């Protein structure tokens, strides 16, 4: 070790301060959810769980939750299919334009969300609209799936790189057809990677707001409901409860995904809005 003792103590301190900076606001939102008063003042004087009841009985919140869950599941299913297919093609074949695919999959999260959102809005309005697709659940899924593909793709391709294509061939030699090979040979190897990818895709979709505002029309997902309700001070306590709920529902799948596939699985998305991924080797 080259670093002196003092440097190490200072570094530890710096790391601690940064971590505190990262986590304190999240903890505070958790505390505010239990604030009994309507005014958002610090320190919190009375704690209660009354706003949880109010939140769960709120019709709008329930509708928004339902829409968010549907959108999350829809986007996850679509991106599972698209991401797996693309990963299989890229990992098992060499072809012209192979690099372009990895790039095209990452592009939707590499460009600022407002550009993806605006582009989708213009297209839904001008192109898909006349074809009969109006703003709603379908267009929300359309947008979400587009930027969720990358998490499934990244997880699947990382796994496929470590598994041998010769197994697929052996399976075919033993008389399995393509579907059987996928079901009995490839899928068991891919399962945990796909599960991690799916959980991340769901988490990504569930709390997305920047693109969703452009593709949802008059519909409200849970984050859009929060965004719209922020301007009504009387409802802020309910917003805090819903916010806590959204945090939990996006962090829990991510935590599970990380347990399944290692921290590397997480590093593939938001850390990697750029052209290439900083790979973090932390296999279980």
Partner 1 sequence: MTSVTNAEAPPRVSPGRRLSTFFYRHPRLRLAALLALPVGWMVVVYLGSLVVLLLSAFWDTDPFTAEVVREFTLDNFRDLFERDVYRDVAWRTIRMAALVTVADAVLAFPIAFYMARVASSRTRNLLIVAVLMPLWASYLVKVIAWRTVLSSGGVVNWGLEPFGVQFDGLSTVGLWLVFTYLWLPFMILPIYAGLERIPNSLLEASADLGARATTTFLRVILPLAFPAVVAGSIFTFSLTLGDYIAPGLITSEQFIGTVIYQRRGENLPIAAAFAFVPIVVMILYLLVARRLRAFESL
* 8 Å CB contact between 38 and 51: no
Stretch that binds partner 1, among 45-53, 56-64, 88-96, 159-167 (CB under 8 A): 88-96
CA atoms of 234 and 243, how far apart (whole Å): 16
Check binding of 254 to partner 1 (CB under 8 A): yes
H-helix or E-strand spanning residue 150: helix 137-162
Check binding of 137 to partner 1 (CB under 8 A): no
Check binding of 166 to partner 1 (CB under 8 A): no
Residue 202 C-beta: closest distance to partner 1, Å: 11
Number of residues that bind partner 1 (CB under 8 A): 107
Check binding of 69 to partner 1 (CB under 8 A): no
Stretch that binds partner 1, among 5-13, 48-56, 158-166, 185-193 (CB under 8 A): 5-13
Residue 60 C-beta: closest distance to partner 1, Å: 16
Check binding of 218 to partner 1 (CB under 8 A): no
In sequence order, what DSSP letters do the residues of 80-102 get, joined into one string?
HHHHHHHHHHHHH---TTHHHHH
CA atoms of 225 and 248, how far apart (whole Å): 17
Positions 24 through 43 that interact with partner 1 (CB under 8 A)? 25-26, 28-29, 32, 39-43
Residue 249 C-beta: closest distance to partner 1, Å: 9
Check binding of 211 to partner 1 (CB under 8 A): no
Q: Look up tokens 């320190």; give the residue.
A: 43
Check binding of 266 to partner 1 (CB under 8 A): yes
CA atoms of 153 and 201, how far apart (whole Å): 10
Residue 140 C-beta: closest distance to partner 1, Å: 13
CA atoms of 260 and 258, how far apart (whole Å): 5
Question: Quick one: DSSP state of residue 49?
Answer: S
CA atoms of 229 and 103, how far apart (whole Å): 37
Nearer to partner 1, 58 or 208 (CB): 208
Check binding of 119 to partner 1 (CB under 8 A): yes
CA atoms of 79 and 200, how far apart (whole Å): 11
By CB under 8 A, name the one of 120, 185, 198, 260 that touches partner 1: 120
Check binding of 275 to partner 1 (CB under 8 A): yes
Check binding of 170 to partner 1 (CB under 8 A): no
Check binding of 113 to partner 1 (CB under 8 A): yes
- 3-class state of residue 218 by DSSP: coil
Radius of gyration of the chain measured on its C-alpha atoms: 22
Check binding of 76 to partner 1 (CB under 8 A): no
By CB under 8 A, name the one of 36, 48, 53, 112 that touches partner 1: 112
Check binding of 179 to partner 1 (CB under 8 A): yes
CA atoms of 199 and 217, how far apart (whole Å): 26
CA atoms of 160 and 163, how far apart (whole Å): 5
First to last CA, the chain: 26
Positions 183 through 202 that interact with partner 1 (CB under 8 A)? 200
Check binding of 214 to partner 1 (CB under 8 A): yes
């Amino acid at each position: 070790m080259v670093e002196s003792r003092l440097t190490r103590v200072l570094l530890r301190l710096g790391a601690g301060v940064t971590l505190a900076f990262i986590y304190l606001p999240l903890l505070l939102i958790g505390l505010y959810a239990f604030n009994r008063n309507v005014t958002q003042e610090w320190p919190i004087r009375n704690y209660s769980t009354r706003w949880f009841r109010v939140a769960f009985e709120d019709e709008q919140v329930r509708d928004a939750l339902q829409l968010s869950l549907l959108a999350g599941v829809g986007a996850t299913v679509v991106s599972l299919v698209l991401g797996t297919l693309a990963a299989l093609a890229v990992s098992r074949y060499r072809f012209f334009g192979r690099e372009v695919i990895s790039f095209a999959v990452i592009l939707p999260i590499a460009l600022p969300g407002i550009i993806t959102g605006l582009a989708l809005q213009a297209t839904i309005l001008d192109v898909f609209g006349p074809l009969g697709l109006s703003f709603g659940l379908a267009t929300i899924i359309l947008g979400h799936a587009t930027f969720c593909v990358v998490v499934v793709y990244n997880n699947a391709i990382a796994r496929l790189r470590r598994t041998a294509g010769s197994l697929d061939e052996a399976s075919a030699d033993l008389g399995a057809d393509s579907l059987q090979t996928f079901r009995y040979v490839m899928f068991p190897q891919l399962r945990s990677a796909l599960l991690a990818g799916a959980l991340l895709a769901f988490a990504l979709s569930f709390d997305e707001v920047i693109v969703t505002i452009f593709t949802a029309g008059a519909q409200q997902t849970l984050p859009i409901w929060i965004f719209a309700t922020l301007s009504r001070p009387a409802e802020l306590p309910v917003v805090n409860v819903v916010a806590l709920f959204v945090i939990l529902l996006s962090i829990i799948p991510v935590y599970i995904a990380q347990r399944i596939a290692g921290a590397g699985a997480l590093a593939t998305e938001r850390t990697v809005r750029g052209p290439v991924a900083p790979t973090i080797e932390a296999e279980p």
